[in-house]
Amino acid sequence: MTNFTHVAGRVHADLASPDWWREAVIYQIYPKSWADSNGDGIGDLNGVRQNLPYLAELGVDAIWFSPFFVGPQTDGGYDVADYRDIDPMFGTLQDAEALIQEAHELGIKIIIDVVPNHTSVEHPFFKAAIATPPGSPEWERYHLVRGQGENGELPPNDWISIFSGPAWTQTNFEGKPTGYWYLHIFDAGQPDVNWDHPDIVDEFDKTLRFWFDRGVDGFRIDVAHGLVKSEGYPGGGEEKVLDENGEIVDIIPHPYWCQDGVHEIYRRWRAIANEYTPTRIFVGEIGEPTTARVAKYLRPDELHTGFNFGYLTAQWHADSVRKNVNETIEFNVPIGAPTTWVTDNHDTTRSVTRYGCDWPAHNWADSVDRDSKFSNHYVANDEEVALGRRRGRASMLQMLALPGSAYIYQGQELGLEEVRDIPAEKRQDPVYINSKGDIVGRDGDRVPMPWTRSGKSLGFGPEDGAEPWLPMPRRWSEVSVEAQLEDPDSMHSLTRTALLLRRQLPLLGSGQMRWRDDLVESANVLAFERFDETSVSSVVCVANYGDENVSVAALSVLIASQPDVSLHNGHVVIPPDTTVWLIL
Ligand code: NOJ
């Protein structure tokens, strides 16, 4: 593992500001895949501790950790058996406490995941339920429903699991099927809990307080829109509401999502977060179908922020991005919620691959024709990866120039592409397993980080350690942290410089934004200005999505996503798939 001790050039964010989350750049760590300190082939908390200076030097404000709690890892940690302890594969509670403290000393906030829609089947609540017959009070903490058919031998309704197959599994008691089925919107190992039950409310109150008391700055809420189910479990799915011209004006979500009752839960949680100084924060994984519906969760007494899935799924195209930016600002600004931007996470085909293959929009569960390059089975060729990397650089600069807060998923700062050539027997994602390989799933964006040019696991773990839990491509030697640190033109150097500029120019986080279509006459270009009333200067971001150069008059180029872009005679020529930040 590379040893990072030097934390140069870091301008510390104002940790004491209660509003840090409004413009924070948050780095997502998938703990299994970041750094393995003990050589078991799996990333761990001490691996993160050893490499915290890397993140300080990169210049991020906070880390969001995907789950590291006790659980059988049926769904990569999103199946929790104990919300208030660390799984031994990741370390101990003491390691977590040390990590929180050490991150804080470096000026980095900590956000952890909470998974309140479902527990693992290993959670004591579910173990207690399954040990009793239907009708017992233990079952009331879950959704247990009589099946259809004479003996209840058919699932209660037509709900389908997100991970394939029915969203119901029949229970057994004393070795016999009971005719009663429990609900699991995800894997059968992830039973949905009943939020009308006081024990569930209490379990999560306790969990929030437990981690807040240990200094955690906030929670990312898994499936934030899913906690409450439609009464009576009506069958059916999502419905589109059309106007007289056939345009979609609203989408009524599937009855297992997006029920109004969730808002009461978040008002309760917000009150808990407000008990702390500085205030703790929430970011919701809000899978509502429209931006207007997402905005409801961001009212001042609910969640602080939510992920912008419209931006994440948008294709590399000026119109798609402009539409999302406009909508996001339109709905967030009136309620005082900061806009957020994200292009990559542990559920998503990496943007390098999506952008390089010109995917129309992203849906990880799509199962289109495998040979089509829009299929998630498709293996991008070298040319597509190179194009995707170029676009990934342009996208990073555009994202970091937009108002509000942004997310960087581990390895995005290295320009990693999706890994498709993972042997079936190594794959672990229930999306792949439950669909019998029909849907390739998410293992390919969870491949461990390459830290060094050489070594068995490219520095992910110690030389004498076990193989990484997912195989790492040897070609990543060239895009490893070590290789990129040496190269002033690398994606890593670009990201680091952009983050440093963002800190030096606070208007990039908190300032206002206006489109500057007057600067370039092309529908393939997005130009916008960031300004604030109190400062004389402003920064203009121009992204060229087209296939021809464009020229803009400017005073100076602050940063460009390609090395060969500079000012000549008061003009900057911006090549295709390139973003620049300018002073006009
Ligand atoms: C969303 C998480 O991001 C994903 O990884 C997980 O599989 C589901 N929620 C279920 O918890």
449, amino acid identity: M
Q: From atom 6 of ligand 1, which residue's Cα is the shortest distance away?
A: 78
How many C-beta neighbours within 10 Å does residue 365 have?
A: 16
Is the CB–ligand 1 distance for residue 266 below 6 Å?
no
Atom of ligand 1 nearest to the CA of 79: 11
CA distance readout (Å), 199 to 140, 206, 220, 243, 279: 10, 10, 21, 44, 25
Atom of ligand 1 nearest to the CA of 163: 7
Tell whether the torsion through CA atoms of 11, 14, 16 and 22 is positive or negative.
Answer: negative
> What value does the mean pLDDT of the chain take?
93
User: Residue 137 burial (CB < 10 Å; 0-12/13-18/19+)?
Assistant: exposed
Section 536-560 average pLDDT: 95
Q: From atom 2 of ligand 1, which residue's Cα is the shortest distance away?
A: 222
Position 535 pLDDT exceeds 80: no
Section 124-153 average pLDDT: 98
Fold of domain 512-583: Immunoglobulin-like (2.60.40)
Per-residue pLDDT at 240: 87
Kindly report the backbone phi and psi dihedral angles of residue 485, in degrees, each rounded to the nearest multiple of 5, phi listed first: -65, -30
Atom of ligand 1 nearest to the CA of 442: 5
Is the CB–ligand 1 distance for residue 451 below 6 Å?
no
Residue 398, SS3 per DSSP: helix
Position 11 pLDDT exceeds 80: no
Per-residue pLDDT at 8: 32
Distance 222 CA to ligand 1 centre (A): 6
CA distance readout (Å), 265 to 7, 119, 190, 200, 259: 41, 17, 20, 11, 11
Distance 75 CA to ligand 1 centre (A): 8
Is the CB–ligand 1 distance for residue 312 below 6 Å?
no
CATH 3.90.400.10 for domain 124-183: yes
Top CATH class, 20-115+308-498: alpha beta
Q: What sections of 435-537 are H helices per DSSP?
A: 481-485, 491-504, 507-510
Position 566 pLDDT exceeds 70: yes
Q: From atom 5 of ligand 1, which residue's Cα is the shortest distance away?
A: 347
How many C-beta neighbours within 10 Å does residue 41 have?
A: 18
Positions annotated as catalytic residues are 222, 275
Distance 120 CA to ligand 1 centre (A): 13
pLDDT digits (tens, 9 = 90+) for 65-102: 999 999 999 999 999 999 999 999 999 999 999 999 99
User: Residue 268 burial (CB < 10 Å; 0-12/13-18/19+)?
Assistant: middle
Is the CB–ligand 1 distance for residue 25 below 6 Å?
no
- Label residue 14 by pLDDT band (50, 70, 90): low
Per-residue pLDDT at 454: 97
Atom of ligand 1 nearest to the CA of 431: 7
Is the CB–ligand 1 distance for residue 163 below 6 Å?
no
Is the CB–ligand 1 distance for residue 186 below 6 Å?
yes
Per-residue pLDDT at 349: 93
Position 369 pLDDT exceeds 80: no
Distance 229 CA to ligand 1 centre (A): 18
Tell whether the torsion through CA atoms of 273, 279, 283 and 284 is positive or negative.
Answer: positive
Report which of 184, 163, 246 is spatially closest to residue 441, judged by C-alpha positions.
Answer: 163
Is the CB–ligand 1 distance for residue 409 below 6 Å?
no
Distance 89 CA to ligand 1 centre (A): 19
Distance CA 252, CA 248 (A): 11
Atom of ligand 1 nearest to the CA of 78: 11
Distance 116 CA to ligand 1 centre (A): 11
Is the CB–ligand 1 distance for residue 75 below 6 Å?
yes
Tokens 């270009």 locate to: 525
CA distance readout (Å), 297 to 209, 293, 307, 342, 383: 21, 8, 11, 18, 41
Distance 162 CA to ligand 1 centre (A): 10
Distance 10 CA to ligand 1 centre (A): 33
Q: From atom 11 of ligand 1, which residue's Cα is the shortest distance away?
A: 78
Tokens 């009971």 locate to: 178
Radius of gyration for the chain, computed over Cα atoms and rounded to the nearest angstrom: 24
Distance 540 CA to ligand 1 centre (A): 36
Is the CB–ligand 1 distance for residue 78 below 6 Å?
yes
Domain boundaries, the chain: 20-115+308-498, 124-183, 512-583
Tokens 């009212």 locate to: 299
Tokens 């997005």 locate to: 526
Is the CB–ligand 1 distance for residue 113 below 6 Å?
no
Is the CB–ligand 1 distance for residue 203 below 6 Å?
no
Section 337-360 average pLDDT: 94
Mutate to test the pocket of ligand 1, among 30, 68, 75 (most ligand atoms within 8 A of CB): 75
Atom of ligand 1 nearest to the CA of 185: 10
pLDDT digits (tens, 9 = 90+) for 423-471: 999 999 999 999 999 888 999 999 999 999 999 999 999 999 999 999 9
Where does 16-121 show beta strands of DSSP type E?
A: 25-29, 62-65, 69-70, 82-86, 109-114
pLDDT digits (tens, 9 = 90+) for 29-74: 999 999 999 999 999 999 999 999 999 999 999 999 999 999 999 9
Section 490-511 average pLDDT: 94
Distance 490 CA to ligand 1 centre (A): 31
Atom of ligand 1 nearest to the CA of 347: 5
Position 253 pLDDT exceeds 90: no
Position 232 pLDDT exceeds 90: yes
Position 365 pLDDT exceeds 80: no
Is the CB–ligand 1 distance for residue 342 below 6 Å?
no
**DSSP labels for 122-163?**
TSHHHHHHHTS-TTSGGGGGB-EEEPBSTTS-B-SS--B-TT
**DSSP labels for 108-124?**
-EEEEEE--SB--TTSH
pLDDT digits (tens, 9 = 90+) for 279-327: 999 999 999 888 888 999 999 999 999 999 999 999 999 999 999 999 9
Mutate to test the pocket of ligand 1, among 32, 78, 283, 409 (most ligand atoms within 8 A of CB): 78
Q: CB–CB of 234/156 below 8 Å?
A: no
Is the CB–ligand 1 distance for residue 221 below 6 Å?
no
Is the CB–ligand 1 distance for residue 64 below 6 Å?
no
- Label residue 17 by pLDDT band (50, 70, 90): confident
Q: CB–CB of 356/316 below 8 Å?
A: no
- Label residue 237 by pLDDT band (50, 70, 90): confident
Is the CB–ligand 1 distance for residue 79 below 6 Å?
no
Mutate to test the pocket of ligand 1, among 74, 186, 344 (most ligand atoms within 8 A of CB): 186
Q: CB–CB of 398/526 below 8 Å?
A: yes
- Label residue 509 by pLDDT band (50, 70, 90): confident
pLDDT digits (tens, 9 = 90+) for 254-268: 888 889 999 999 999
